[in-house]
Every structure is written in structure tokens, then in C-alpha cells.
A and B are shown apart, each in its own frame.
Chain A
């Protein structure tokens, strides 16, 4: 892995993280774990999050068993068709492979997959051990690609180069270098967009795509939720890129602007206000009065419908206090969704947020809002106690921290089972929040045991 390339990605100019403030260097993107902690996934993890949702491709993890064995099949992206991406492929390197070099095994593995499964493409993920032993994975992919006549794409994001976030970007680089721009022009409409950074977790993309269809907006490539390989190759024909809730793939948007002249907008599909704003921004971009009219009609229809659907939940959620513990952009996009439901976000994490994110959060939370900068489970529970919060909204790894402390919990990360995007996603969010907050178990588990109650 070329250090220069990594440095470039770490200083992605479109990313606010890298706008230095005075002489204080902002190193949030580098986010490497500190010894003695457990701070989240590696670059390979990030790269998989970004690319594995490509449904008709095979994803081959080149490394010993831990990388693939402990992770395949655990992600929540759904497909409307091909299921190739669900199969976990790995070279499962043994001691012998490592001593003798594993290029041959990689080549054979690619061949076996190409012949037995006929995927649309094969993505090969380089992990730490082959990166350390210096296998020339790019060369193997190139040779195999020629021999088996299918795209074989190296993804050079071994875990030890950095965090998940960096892995997202490195995966984006693979898309830019090997995929985008290699496909035939498809049939194009008048308003054509790509979605970048939307992974169709729990199928939430399907709550959004129909909106675009009704508006007459053609979604060409989805990066990468429910994507087919071919659509990604054609992505350079779009008129506009939407970067959804993810600073992580800004490098893709920016370079597509550079290379193909496609402008981009950053927006969020979570929350009524933000979604409305997103649609209006698109209309404004295209400067098409008819589209603007359609957008306004859709917004008014959807919001009216939504008010009716949310009515039963509102009294149960009104005024509840939640602590939000998640990364980056999601911290503000989810705050705004919660506020749309009458929920008060009393504290949120800002450890992955950019300066711009933080400003936005401050505006949304008001002066009393707490920003949690770092810390683990203990600090988190401290904040929950101090703020007298009713609930924690966070990623799955904090689920049992909350439950052990007797606090209702909602999962918003990529392993979750419900989609919260779009207008209908709001109803799902309201329903799930209501269930979590008002479950009858809370009252029961807080009861004292018979032997804890004094006889009076």
C-alpha cells in the first residue's frame, strides 16, 4: 500500500475533517485504535461495508481465517435479486501458504470462483498478512482477469493501515480506478443521479427509490446498496451525485466531479425535514420548474400521510429524552429525525464528526445539549445517568451495555433489522422507538426481589 495514497485519502480536501483550524491538526479520519482499547473495525472492515453490498459480485477475502471467518454474512444489506454477495469466499491462508507465498493460491481461488459461480465480477480484499508478506495482489488480479475474462478488482485495504473510515475511502478508490467509467452508456433520462454511501441496510433504500421514480428522477448507480456491477461501471453518465449520510465516500464524489464533471450534493434520507430538504435541493439543482412542482406536490402529499401514520405514536414519544451514540453525519441526521418525532436528544457523540457536523449538532441540540467526545461504555452510562435519559440510540455493540444498565435501546448501525430512511422509514422508526420505550419488561425487571423488600 502506497503511503502517499493513504495520506492523500486522509487529507481528502472535500472532507471537513481536514480543514485545519489554526495550527491544530484535525486527525479524526485517522482514527487508529490505541493499544489497550477496542475501538471498532479495521480498514478491511470498512472496505467490505462499502463494496460487499454489490449483489452480483463475488467477494473474496485474501487472508487467514479471522478476517472473513469472523465477519462474513453479518451485514444487513439486502438484495432485490442476485445473492452472490451473500456467499463468503476466503483463501483461508495456512502457515504453509504464508511461508511459501500465497499468490498461487489466490490465483487458483479466483479461477475456482469464476468457473463455478460465474459472478459479474470478483472483488479481492487484501488483508494484513498478505500485505505484510508482500504478495503482488494487483498483478494476480490483472492476470486472472485476463485469463477468466471477467473484472477482478483488487481492494487494497489491509486492516492495519487504519480505521473503517479509511477503508471506506480505499474501497471508493477501487471503484474509481477499476469500475466507474468502464461500462457502456445506458438509456438515459433527463434527470439522472447516483446515490453514494447508501447500503440498503434492512432494505431501507426501497423506501426511497419509489420517491425518485414518482419524481421522474432516474437513479443510475447505487453505491452500493442493492447494486449490480454493471450499473457501477456506468455511473459516470449521471448528471448529479447524491452523497448520503457519509463523509466516508466524499473522495468518490469529488473525483467524479473532477474526472467526469458530475457535481454532487450531500444530504440525508433520515427525518422529515432533512428528506424534504434533500428533494428540494435536487429540484433546485436541475432548475426544472416541472420537477420543482412535482417535488412540492410529493412533499405535501407524503407529509400529510405521514402525520396521519405518526399520530398514534406521537403521544408516546413526545418529550422523551434520548442519548445518541453514533458516528459522523448520522449524529445530526438522526437528531433531526428524532426531533421530528418530538423526541429530545439530550446528548450525542461527536467523536467522528467534522467541525461542520458539530456546528450543525450544536444548532440542533441547543445550548443544554451535551456532546460526548470519546470514551467507552462507562462514560456513556455516566452521561445517560446525568441527563436522566429515557433511552440510548446507538450501534449494536453498545446494545448490551444499555440493557445491562436497564436502559431501553435502539440499534441504528449497519447490523440492524429495520430501515429508517424515507417517509415510511419514519413510521418504522416511530414504531420501533415506541416498542423499545414502552416494553412491559422495563417495569418488571426494576421490581425489587421479595427478599429485598423489608417487612413493615
Chain B
């Protein structure tokens, strides 16, 4: 029996929670040539930037609308417009991802309305991501939802093309593996967002100010023609639903792709979609996984484990650990965002 306990303490000690705008920035960084722009004061951007730079050990493009006390109270419309103009002139981005912060949302600015009155030469995508609710996982999915609501274009369905909606807990390495898996079935993957080519850690000279890899804007538009949609991570469900409504293409959602059972289901799904038999390396990899499970179940079995993770990842990891015989004694997560 598990018990859900909501904390009643007033003070939060050593917070493990990361803010929504940070998650949104991460999602936007998975689009090639993009710049995330925080609609807030300079510090919000500076902290997020330092955190991402240290985590990924990469140059991270991230800008601020630089709200001051006065512009917060009077409204940040000018700041938004000016920031976007400056960024376009300075860095020639393909896309700008505007993220709300607690500050802009406390004042309650109609950013979407402001953007409607502007005519920018590139897509400017707005994600409503105040820091005072949700966490990284929510901000990330909101940014994905905002992007796919407008950019992918309808067209003749391509029966060999798969849209991969990648949740916030899918690492750059995992995105790369999943894309390869899809390709091995002779299907064409378009991952949204695609961290495997932007934050994978590659040495690229002479590119500054915008993300150096990720889903290209062309691919993002083309993705609307995919006959198949595979979403990884529960927090991708709202995005997958938007997709289904926009393009009348059903989606398949996997909570995660970790562990034997999840992998089997994923392979089964791709076999059905592609009509191809399982490609070469995978039966062998399955044997390796089976062997690893047998070899390690002594160590993992019966262990009592405490987890503290973003909601999606918590689900995936606890599933896997339980499938290995471990017992999850405590799991700490942010409450899911109110929908």
C-alpha cells in the first residue's frame, strides 16, 4: 500500500525542484537555431543559464527581456518587442522561445495578445511557465505543446515517417538511440525536441548565440505529415492529444522506454507500424539485457530505495527498479500541474 503525503511545512529545505521556465528553455534548446528568452528580470535568466551551462558543459544561448521594477509594474510589452528585435538582428535565430516567469505572470500580462499584434520574421513561440507552479517537467511539456500547436504543417500523410515526442526525462543519448531504432525499421524519425544533436556535447566551432543542433524548423513543419506519433513520457500526453486533434493521427504513448517490458512493447509497436521484422542488433541486445537482469537481480532485489525526481522520470525509474525486485520506500516528486 502506498500513501501519498502532501507536505505541510511552510519552508522548503534544499529544494530539489527546478522551475518551469528552465524546463521550457530545455525544450526550446532542442530546436536548431533557437534562442529561449525569459520574460522576467535579468537574474532569472542568469541563474538558469549558469545551471544549464554547468550541467551540460556547453555554451547555452538564453536571453532575458530584462524587466525592471518599473517595467514590471507598467507592463513589459516594450521589453518583449525590443528583446526579440535585438535577438533577431544579433544572432539570426530560426525560432525564439519566449518563456513566462513568476514575475511576468504575477503581474498577469497578456503576452499572447501582445505577440498577436506583432509581425516578426521568425516564429516566436510563447510558453506560459510561471515559477510559482509546476516544475521543470511541466515547463518543458508546455513549451512542446506551444510549439506543436503552430509549427507542424498539414500535408499528405507520409506512411514511413514517425514523429517522436520526447519527454523531459529523455536524455540526449536516449533520443539518439530511439531515432536509430526507428531508422533500423526503415522509418524516418523526426524527434521533437531533439536534444541528441544540440545538447549531446559535440565540438562545434564558430556558432554563437543560437542552439547548434536540434530539430530543424523544416523538419518541425514536415512533422505534420507523419503517419505515426510516438510519445515518450506521461507529461507528453497533452502534446500528443493536441497532435491528434490537429492532424487526426492517433498516438501511442509509452511512459518510458526503460527495462525489458517497455522495450519489448516499443519494438512490437515499430514492427506493426513498419511491417518489417525486427532488425539485426535488437534480438542480441535483448539477450544482453536478460543476462544483465539475471546477473544483477541479487544486488538490486529487496533493496529499499528512496527516489526524488521529476514526475516522469520518477515513474520510469521506479517502474524499472520494481521490475528488478527493488522496493521503493520513499518517492519524492512535485505535484503534477493543475490541468
Contact = CB atoms under 8 A, between A and B. Distances in A.
Interface in A89-147: 89-95, 97-98, 105-106, 108-109, 111-113, 128-129, 131-133
Contact of B132 (A38, A98, A106, A400): A98
A63 interface: yes
Contacts of A1: 69
B21 A66 contact: yes
A108 B10 contact: yes
Measured as residues with beta carbon below 8 angstroms from the partner, the interface class of chain B is 35 or more
Contacts of A43: 43
A92 B131 CA distance: 9
B17 A92 contact: yes
B102 A66 contact: yes
Nearest to A161: B69
Contacts of A108: 10-11
A183 interface: no
A403 to B, nearest CB: 8
Contacts of B22: 66, 70
A70 B19 contact: yes
A87 B102 contact: no
Contacts of B205: 404-406
B42 interface: yes
Q: Which of A34, A45, A405 has the most CB of B within 10 A?
A: A34
B72 A160 contact: yes
A239 to B, nearest CB: 37
B208 A401 contact: yes
A369 interface: no
A448 interface: no
B66 to A, nearest CB: 4
Contacts of B50: 70-71, 74, 396-397, 415
Contact of B41 (A94, A105, A160): A160
Given A113-B11, A377-B209, A71 B47 contact: yes
A35 interface: yes
A33 B42 contact: yes
B131 A66 contact: yes
A66 B66 contact: no
A60 interface: yes
Interface in A49-74: 60, 63-74
Contacts of A129: 102-103, 106, 132
A378 B209 contact: yes
B107 A64 contact: no
B16 to A, nearest CB: 8
Contact of A132 (B9, B46, B57, B103): B103
A185 interface: no
A384 to B, nearest CB: 13
Nearest to A158: B69
A38 B63 contact: yes
B308 to A, nearest CB: 13
A32 B131 contact: no
A186 interface: no
Interface of B: 9-15, 17-19, 21-22, 37, 40-51, 53-54, 57-59, 62-69, 72-73, 78-80, 82-87, 90, 101-103, 106-107, 130-133, 135, 203-206, 208-209
Closest 9 CB pairs of A and B: A42-B43, A36-B86, A108-B10, A109-B11, A159-B43, A33-B42, A36-B83, A35-B83, A70-B47
Interface of A: 1, 32-45, 60, 63-74, 87-95, 97-98, 105-106, 108-109, 111-113, 128-129, 131-133, 158-163, 376-378, 381, 396-397, 399-401, 404-406, 415, 445
